[in-house]
Structure 1
Amino acid sequence: MISTILSQGGDWLPDLVSGLKVSVMVTMVSLLIGLPFGFLLSLGVMSKSRMSNALALVVVEIGRGAPSLVLLQFAYFGLPSAGLTLSSFGASVVALSWTTAAYTSEIIRAGLQSVPAGQREAAMAVGLNRMDMMRFVIMPQGLKIAIPALLGFAILIFQTTSLCFAIALPELTSKAYEIGANTFQYLPALVLAGLLYLMVCIPMTMIVHWIENRRKY
């Protein structure tokens, strides 16, 4: 296997790297869409309005309860029956953005609710209304607490892009399978793809640990 990787890996790398770029792009777009929606959902869950609370909970529970693969299949194969046809890239972004929003809403909510009650009381004592208290007191502290968990989830979403091969997205895993199908060298191709995943995930994991350690001091 090692000899195969050394002898043919150079020929495979361009295709695998192009797949890696697609995986990174899907991850970035899903996070750019999902994180703001996750923040809005966290506010909805904490809202005193029953309608806002119920709607946010439904969206969150579906996003957390349904496997990412099911959401991918729903976006790519299910939505066309309702008159909305998406490309494999668009369907991947829709599904993973929903997953991101659902899970990060709970991470953000936990961060916001972990702000000590004394901070809220002090904000009310100086005359801040609820919106200003959220903007200037709770959000800066709560989001800072949530950052390590959010970064860890970003790594998970990057790994989840491997499921997008099921809807024909030409991402890294899909490219590895394609190489394996053409050369019958599935194991070396998948090992090389795994190494590329590690090249992204390990530095990101180290950054998360570094941020967590800085928070302790």
Structure 2
Amino acid sequence: MELLTLWKGWFPELIDGYGLSLEVTALSLGIGVPLGLVLALAVPAKSKAIRISALTFVEIGRGAPVLILLQFVYFGLPTAGLTLTSFASAVVALACCTGAYTSEIIRAGFEAVPYGQKEAALVIGLNGLDALRFVIVPQGLRVALPALLGFSIMMLQATSLCFTIALPELVSRASNIGSTTFEYMPVLILAGLMFAVICIPATLLVSVLERRLGRHAVR
């Protein structure tokens, strides 16, 4: 009962931080996934300049730890004259990470589209752009959907790193409560449970989608 009483007192502050974590995640995915789609189309482009630029962005975004990206945007960019708030820095850093990783997920989805589907699109008179719009992209995104959802869960969890740039998200608020009450374990357990409320059902949803899309995969 004492634990529940503590949780009840902390919950209003933690739920505000949780809302901020969800907001950062939503914006990062809203920017990063379309960026990933653009990069997935740019990596195999015929133009060498476009191809190299896209590959460079993808490799840096995938190679640099999220924590380094957060620190670079929040602490590094001001030295170049660009100062962002902790919220904007979190969104920019996580969106860049999302774009880099999802570009490879989406590109793998495109490559999974059977060659016969591409040939059929050309046979019925579609040009290369229309074949991409109406055949390759829709089917490729369908294949990539479970992996994209799985990555979204990881990005929600990655918002816990934003406490390092003074963003008052869930983990930051839990840490503050722990430092003032010295009840670190109870408050961190509550924070973990709040993450689990979304992450566990979402993980189960990804598993269901993988099975269903696997059964109906285009051959």
Q: Which category of TM-score, normalised to the shorter sequence, fits these structures?
A: over 0.9
Aligned length: 215
Distance (Å, rounded) in 1 between the aligned partners of 2:153 and 2:3 = 26
1:148–1:208 CA contact under 8 A, matched in 2 = yes
Secondary structure of 2:148 counterpart: helix
State the one-letter code of the partner of 1:67: P
Q: Which residue of 1 aligns with 2:40?
A: 42
Q: Show the 5 A alignment for 1:64-213.
A: 64-213=62-211
In 1, the alpha carbon distance for the partners of 2:83 and 2:2 equals 41
Gaps of 5+ in 2: none
Shift of 1:124: 1.3
| Other structure's SS at 1:46 match | coil
For residues 158-186 of structure 1, what are the alpha-carbon distances to aligned partners after superposition, in whole Å with 9 as ceiling and x for unaligned? 00000000001010100100100110111
Q: Secondary structure at the match of 2:150?
A: helix
Whole-angstrom CA distance in 1 between matches of 2:85 and 2:163: 13
Q: Deviations over 1:36-62 (max 9, x none)?
A: 000000011011111111000000000
Q: 2:214 corresponds to which residue? A: 216
* Contact 1:5–1:189 (Cα < 8 Å) also in 2: no
- Which residue pairs with 1:30 in the alignment? 28
Q: Flag structure 1 segments of 5+ consecutive residues without an equivalent.
A: none
Residue deviations 1:84-105 (CA, integer Å, cap 9, x gap): 1111000000000000000000
| Superimposed CA distance per residue, residues 11-57 of structure 1 (whole angstroms, 9 cap, x where no aligned partner) | 00001111110000000000000000000000110111111110000
The answer to whether the 8 A contact 1:112-1:143 is kept is yes
Query: 1: CA distance between counterparts of 2:2 and 2:41?
Result: 53
CA RMSD, 1 decimal: 0.9
| Displacement after TM superposition at 1:4 (Å) | 4.6
> Deviation at 1:200?
1.1
CA distance in 2, matches of 1:167, 1:125: 54
Post-superposition offset of 1:212: 1.2
**Which range is displaced more, 143-152 or 197-206?**
197-206
Match of 1:56 in 2: 54
Check conservation: 1:123, 1:137, Cα contact below 8 A. yes
**Cα shift at 1:122:** 1.1
Paired residue type of 2:86? S
Q: Distance in 2 between matches of 1:178 and 1:49?
A: 51
Distance 2:107 2:54 in 1: 12
Q: Separation in 2 of the partners of 1:151 and 1:26?
A: 16
Q: Distance in 2 between matches of 1:18 and 1:11?
A: 13
Output the CA distance in 1 between the equivalents of 2:18 and 2:82.
Answer: 28
CA distance in 2, matches of 1:155, 1:216: 21
Shift in Å, 1:5: 2.4
Shift of 1:216: 3.0
Give 2:32's aligned amino acid. G
Query: Stretches of 4+ moved more than 4 A in 1?
Result: none
Deviation sequence 1:86-134 (CA, Å, 0-9, x none): 1100000000000000000000000001111111111111221110000
